[in-house]
Chain A
Amino acid sequence: MSEKNTTKKAWVKPEITPLRNGLANKFGSVRNVNWCDSIDDVPFDKLIRSYGSPLFVASEQKLRSNIKRIKNAFSSRYPRIQMAWSYKTNYLGAICNVLHQEDAWAEVVSRFEYEKARKLGVPGQCIFFNGPNKSREILERAIDENARIHIDHLDELYLIEDIAASRNKEVNIGIRLNFDTGYTEPWSRFGFNIESGQAMDAVWRISSSTHLKLVGLHSHIGTFVLEPRAYSSQVSIMCAFLREVEGKTSFKIDYIDIGGGFASFNALQGIYLPPEQVVPSIEQYAEAICETLLEETHDHLSQGRNRPLLVLESGRAIVDDAEVLVTTVVANKRLPDGRRAVVLDAGVNLLFTAYWYNHVVRPTKPLDGKPEETVLYGPLCMNIDVMRNSVILPPLSVGDQLVFSSVGAYNNTQWQQFIEYRPNVVMVHNNGGVSVIRTAENLETMTAHEKLPEHLSRPFPDDQPEK
């Protein structure tokens, strides 16, 4: 027999698929059916062999190029910008320091985040301290270290004034504002409201204090904002407020912090168009913001003053697509309604954002067989542990790997220690090297903080006979 005839066809898992309408709809629900075997030329199977599954993989190169692109998009349109890395988005030390190396300052919202930024080596004056809960203790430290504190409510103002008075020091502060842009749901629970006059009242209160000096205005209009005009409106309102403050008091506003909220290339559940069509490019955001800001601050130029510094607290837009989650198929199932289901070793305990995103899921190698609607479940014994409610995938075998992408934002901070150990997080470097940036948890780390009272030190009495 000749060689040709001995070649067998590859075995394909047999399947029965019900005929279903609606798959080939006009919104193109079949997307990214291709596969993805590596990140920055480092193959996933090699990473899984070395660091286990599941595995978070961050790309240093992508992080750097993302922040550079945002920085360039804004700095080519406005003369003074400062990026501030939003710690809550992803505060793994390695991630933060990559971004700090790219000239980003830190934006923190709690004592823990402040202490972490300081521990990483960020000077106090390069930290924007937001958030509604700042204790006296941490405020004292922040004031001593000249951090840029944004006050959220009057009680905080009184507290800072008290600390400043006790230290006989003039403290530079910013205030958090809230207002209706006409585009987004106002986040009126934070800061001071402009429309009601509350914000100006707060400014008057600050101007009556000998220890406080208002130097910055801060607001944040929402998250995953898909409409750049919302930012134009935000900047206009803030600049109008700036003029009011400078006109009525002797304060000179040095910076305008417009928060973050730029959308990343991820598909929000409930939005039918794919992100490529609905998510504006960074340049579109930059254009909307800077054009308005240049117009609104033109009078600074005629007064011979520098325009105010524009502070951007981007998180998601920088980190989201710089990290992926690699998972392994644990089991296949067929649901009573006929849909195929797959159990993975990572669930919503690790991928918190699966609650609101439809992540892109791709196998790490080309798989044969007819793609079929599939439900992806995590490893938790909870009904809510669904990674994707419906995704079109070819048949999967146990041990096959799936890559969830754009998982950099909010997962490594909001993940839960629940049921499972949390896995390794690795970073692929520009030179192809790989480092673990957070080691996998084990029993020791999980129980490190536990204390057993003496009388509870044993689960069973020692003298109990073996069963």
Chain B
Amino acid sequence: MMNYKQLTNILNTYSAVMFIKHPAAGLMILITTLWYPNIGLSGLLSTLAGLATLWAFQLPKNENSIYTLNSLLVGLSLGAFFELNAYLALLIILSAIMVIFLSVTLADGLWRMDRIPLLSLPFVIIAILASLIAHNTGKLTNYLSISSNPEPWFGTWADTFFNSLGATFFTPHPLVGGIIFLCMLAYSRYLAFLACCGFIVGLCVFNVLVDNPQPYMIAWSGFNFVLTAIALGGIYTVPGVASFFFAMLGAGLAALLSASIQNILLVYGLPVMALPFVLVTLTLLIAMKKRTKWSSLILASEPGPPELNYERSRLANFRQGGFDSVPLLAPFYGKWNIYQGFNGHHTHQPPWQHALDFFIQEDEKSFTLDGNKLEDYYCYGVPVQSPVYGLVVRTVDNIADNPPGEIDTKNNWGNFILIRLETGLHVLLAHLSQNSIKVKEGDWIKPGTTIANCGSSGRSPQPHLHLQVQQDATLGSPTVAFHLCSVITSKSTTDAEYKVVSRPEEHDTVEPAEINERMSTRLHFPVGRTLHYAIEGTDISDKTRCKLRVEVTLAGQFRIVSDSGASVALTEANGVLAFYDRTGPADILMDMWALGLGLTPLTERATHWNDSPPATLLPLTYIQRVYLSLLHPLGSGLNSRYQRQWNKESKTWVQHGKHELKVAATRLSASTTAILDPEVGCTQLTLSSANKKWHAHLIETGLAEDEGIPGWRSLSSGNSPSELQNDEMLQHQEPS
């Protein structure tokens, strides 16, 4: 018997063809493919054959259904070309098995090469090869005639578009295409928009290149324009002006390839299938990864719907200083100055423009006494800490420190440590003091590990520390932008300010902000932690209790999940607790949590900071939500300003947030207050917007029991922390 999960797998396979991940959309599409039962059943047969192959050979599963997607398409194509009989069924099953093996073989290799997606490449190869068998046998009869024009339905223009969409599933029928389009529209308006624009651009190019194109040609080629536009403009890139034009260019190129390839394949009675889409998308994506300079076109870190890509990129820009900037911690203790910043005029020139030189100054002098001995310099001999988690791949430790004022250009970098990051990039710390390196090649190090002392070796006229992120392990390979996390920076002595991310400039002062242990302990959310809140406020009839629970996904992402199923992802890194990726149904507690604590620095030095959480977290009315999604289809970020003070009376930190968004002439706003008790955690949350107000207070915290791990619960009075029975084990709690 087929269970629910397997059914979902089949349905997701259908929707995945259009880059949609939704079983309902898959079901709609499955049904529409049965418009031509011959095609629909062939597709279903090959999908099942594909799933059976995966199961029988214990092949890895792919959550994006990319393997079965290719087997589905093979079945659909063969079903479209030939009438279903025992011979074709055998051909479909064999082809489906072959395509699964090919997909599994290629997918991993391509991804490892340069994170290249598989797309429907195996399908194109196998479908063409399998179709050619018709020349050797008389047991196959043609089903759909590729070169016959489809029947009119909606009207010329709509027919052309919808036929083309239907042809994605080898059912070139306007009704099928219409339903596919509706699914797209429901899933992502931006994808539907890209589909229309891509089709129009591709069609124009196609019309210019081909004299008097026949409607059947357009129907069998057009979906290539659509898929290319979707993939390049929304799935594999971050939506924006640059990626839109990139997608349109891709649609045009797909038209070029369609126009030319059809002449080869029509000889064998075959349409171009998805070959133009696969060729254009893969080549353009691979080529974009080889860019020497990052442009405004941003490739998504992992494929996803455009709204999600946009949201991730928006948050990354705001919280991390951009997708392409590497987060580092300050590699030292105390207050340092920037001797030379990015693009510094001394030596920080391309391709080494992304580098920081640090030294210590007091009263604008870097030395005490007369400064003619290295020991006179404040930063000489001071310990240097690792700014990252990584693997030490190279160290040089035997170059003498230069006397002040002299440089050693033979050993440009002097003594250095090169650390490999998980991403494959490398961090270089240079000009270290002779014989001071405390780590060796092959060591795994973490932030805060003392690795060497600051020195003045190599091209260093006075003791200083050089920090850069570079592309590979070659000494002095081209540099990559980076930023420092959770630091206090200042231009003068009076304007010291906490920054979640900072890229300091020449003469700035930088000081790492010390993590407050009490704050970080209480705002630490291990898997299984449960928090029970009582909520009251607008539209909540009585005091409602709601439970939040920390779960971890298979990919290792931590999420706080509410009773209602709403959840938000959390990360605790580089001295900051951050929430993102809110999904699931409406849930006021989850929204309060994500707004009130959205970005929380775990240091007492942070008194005010900004963030930009998604506007959908605001308690909006249905009409406001529709209005917002029309004006900002890709989503929009709030202008959130946070302030935090220590309240002496209640002995808690009070974290206020003001969240605002200007949409055309209207202004949406809300304010949040989170009370952080150093003994308990977040004891109270309030959210108020217009005349609505909600309040939640913590009644109980605990840890769910796990195999071999006892659970615990402790009561929290919420209002008066002094009465708290902190961490008291009351009873073992059953895992829920």
Contacts and interface: CB of A to CB of B under 8 A. Distances in A.
Contacts of A283: 375, 378, 381
Interface in A38-93: 65, 68-69, 72-80
Contacts of A301: 446, 448-449
B214 to A, nearest CB: 68
**Majority-rule SS of A interface residues:** helix
A75 B382 contact: no
Interface stretch (A287-295, A349-357, A450-458): A287-295
Contacts of B362: 65, 68-69, 72
B514 interface: yes
Contacts of A442: none
A79 B512 contact: yes
Nearest to A79: B333
Interface in B433-455: 446, 448-450
Contact of B333 (A76, A298, A302): A76
Contacts of A73: 378
A305 interface: yes
A366 to B, nearest CB: 24
B645 interface: no
A198 interface: no
B650 to A, nearest CB: 15
Interface string A279-291: 0010100010011
Interface string B500-529: 000000000000101101000000000000
A135 B494 CA distance: 43
Contact of A79 (B368, B446, B514): B514
A76 B360 contact: yes
Contact of B382 (A65, A76, A306): A76
A298 B363 CA distance: 33
B641 interface: no
A290 B383 contact: yes
A242 to B, nearest CB: 16
B642 interface: no
B334 interface: yes
Interface in B128-156: none
B272 interface: no
Nearest to A300: B448
B579 interface: no
A163 B363 CA distance: 48
Given A283-B381, A290-B383, A294-B383, A76 B335 contact: yes
Contacts of B334: 72, 74-77
Instruction: Give the interface SS of chain B, mostly helix, strand, loop or mixed.
Output: loop
A306 B514 contact: yes
A271 B378 CA distance: 29
Given A283-B381, A290-B383, A305-B517, A76 B449 contact: no
Nearest to B369: A281
Contacts of A287: 381
Given A80-B514, A283-B375, A72 B383 contact: no
A251 to B, nearest CB: 15
Interface string B337-368: 00000000000000000000000101100001
A61 to B, nearest CB: 10
A69 B515 CA distance: 24
Contact of B335 (A72, A294, A302): A72
A295 B336 CA distance: 22
A287 B332 CA distance: 14
Contacts of B449: 298, 301
Contacts of A291: 383
B448 A72 contact: no
B429 interface: no
A76 B379 contact: yes
Nearest to A78: B333
A80 B362 CA distance: 20
A6 B515 CA distance: 77
A65 B363 contact: yes
Contacts of B378: 72-73, 76, 283
B333 A77 contact: yes
Interface of B: 332-336, 360, 362-363, 368, 375, 378-379, 381-383, 446, 448-450, 512, 514-515, 517
22 contacts: A72-B334, A72-B360, A72-B362, A73-B378, A75-B334, A76-B333, A76-B335, A76-B336, A76-B360, A76-B379, A76-B382, A77-B333, A77-B334, A79-B512, A283-B378, A294-B383, A298-B449, A301-B446, A301-B448, A302-B446, A305-B517, A306-B517
Given A74-B334, A281-B375, 12 more contacts: A68-B362, A73-B378, A75-B333, A75-B335, A76-B360, A76-B379, A76-B382, A79-B333, A283-B381, A291-B383, A294-B450, A301-B449
- Those 4 A-B pairs whose CB atoms lie nearest each other, nearest first: A76-B334, A75-B334, A306-B517, A79-B333
